[in-house]
Chains A and B, each alone.
Chain A
Amino acid sequence: MSRDEMTVLQNYRLTNTVNHVYHNVEFYRHKMQKIGLLPSDIKTIDDLTKLPFTTKEDLRDTYPYGLFAVPISEIVRIHASTGTTGKQTVVGYTRRDISTWSECVARSLTMTGVGKGDTILVAYGYGLFTGGLGLHYGAEHLGACVIPIATGSTKRLTTMMVDLEATAIACTPSYLLHVAEVLEAEGLLGKLKIKAAICGAEPWSEAMRLQIEEKLGINAFDIYGLSEVLGPGVACDCIHHQGLHIYEDYFLSEVISEQSQTPVAAGETGELVFTTLAKEGIPLIRYRTKDLTDITYEPCECGRTTARIGRFKGRSDDMLIIRGVNVFPSQIEAALIEMGTTLPHYVMEIDRVGTLDVLELKVEVEERYFSDEIRKLEGLTRQIEKTIREAIGLSIKVKLVEPRTIERSTGKAKRVIDKRKLM
């Protein structure tokens, strides 16, 4: 599709979406009325900047159904993700949204060379997390054979990989590297039929992608998405790996400057912002992803004309993605405070041990927690580990340290030390 044709389609779908939210979502109607904006003021995508932004906080504040644009009777699926205060935000999909999502994932898989006749292991978590079911439906939509192995036993995964002659795998990149090491140790590398890996849900580097390709002798692709906007399948890279193709007929993208909140020039880095163009359940207007990247509209070597986003350069907030799970330092803080004792000084260290992300929480031992019995200190350690695990859904390691050994800062406390090298 030429850019002109794409623009015509986007204009049409944007005006529809704006009308839809204005009439069906009180939150957007109020926001627009406050700045004297009517749906009829939005005629083309050039009018996009007139519209207000939507943030993760808006989703949280309107929890659970405040941003839904259809009655619950029209919703066929709910997914959820964690928020800054540990409170979940929920997203809902209509039957057509699920179909749109499947289409987007199917397009991504097609780009990776996966199709009918392929057997794909979906090794993402199934459940409220969008990874598992997102890839599952997309692959089925394409006619591929899906093995919904989910997360869990690596041994079972490598066995099925070989025995069922799987030709593709979808999982987080760090887990795939771990799987590659296990395969190597078991002497199974030569027995693989895998040709493509579709990895996402956490940031990874080009070097790591190449490492996976080399180790497994496959093509590795980067799939991007976020549950608020849809789930995995918002964008994916092609065999040329020159950025991720955005499905612009479904997602209108902008890159804005964090300071001025105005669009930056093509090629400049800023915060990625999406407006959904065909979503029914939760259409989002100018949703701020907090992901930092750049965008190019140049046609790709593969022939596709869609805009491409570059590798992510970080996030504009303090959210961490650990083993595919979103973690905010404030969640940890809230959990510690909720234990009934205030622990004013802690620091999180994230490291990649082997290929897996490991989160270690250092907490200072203060007078009131101190016991000279090791049993009691270990009990305290386990209690903190359990509380945090329940709060963020990830197991962590707690290490008690001496008082005043955690660096104090005069400004914003440095709570996170990310030692992971995106190889």
Chain B
Amino acid sequence: MKQLSVFIENREGRLFDVLRILGENDINIISLSLADTNDYGMLRMIVSKPQVALSILRDCGLSATLTQILAIKLPHESGSLGRALAAINDAGINIEYMYGLCADGDEAVLAIKTSDVAQAAKLLKRAGIEQWQM
């Protein structure tokens, strides 16, 4: 799954600007996560039209990029995340970051960025973990 990442300086109104641009161009934000440091923030989003969103944001002068991530479905059960991650952990694959994507019905969906996305996808599939589709 493609994730849209945007570099945002810690300045008043910058996050709003990004949201406004996306809204005006009819791009739906399915999920987002905002990581912050002293000087800047990193807005990571799953959007309805990632490729279109990317070019619009770039045209507006923002530093944006598309990143391959994994969106996995997990049942609402204790231990389900640990079991899922055991598969990639055993293979020595690092998790760069992760965040909750959405949680509807009986399942939660998590976004995971790993050091080796293709390999992680294969291992998760083998462990019976399903990928979430938009």
Contact = CB atoms under 8 A, between A and B. Distances in A.
Contact of B63 (A365, A374, A378): A365
A366 interface: yes
A367 B58 contact: yes
A372 B14 contact: no
Contacts of A399: 39
Interface residues of B, number: 22
A370 B35 contact: no
A402 interface: yes
A375 interface: yes
Contacts of A370: 7, 63-65
B96 interface: yes
Interface majority SS (helix, strand, loop, mixed), chain B: strand
Contacts of B58: 367
Interface range, A side = 10 to 19
A78 interface: no
A402 to B, nearest CB: 5
Interface majority SS (helix, strand, loop, mixed), chain A: loop
Given A374-B35, A375-B96, A402 B3 contact: no
A373 interface: yes
A370 B65 CA distance: 8
Given A367-B58, A402-B8, A373 B63 contact: no
A95 B26 CA distance: 79
Interface in B28-66: 35, 37, 39-40, 42, 44, 58, 61-65
**Most A-side CB within 10 Å, residue of B7, B35, B37, B97:** B7
B80 interface: no
A302 to B, nearest CB: 51
Contacts of B8: 402
A148 B37 CA distance: 41
Interface string A350-387: 00000000000000011100111111011000000000
Given A365-B63, A377-B7, A401-B40, 12 more contacts: A365-B7, A370-B63, A373-B96, A373-B97, A375-B96, A378-B37, A401-B9, A402-B8, A402-B62, A403-B62, A404-B61, A405-B9
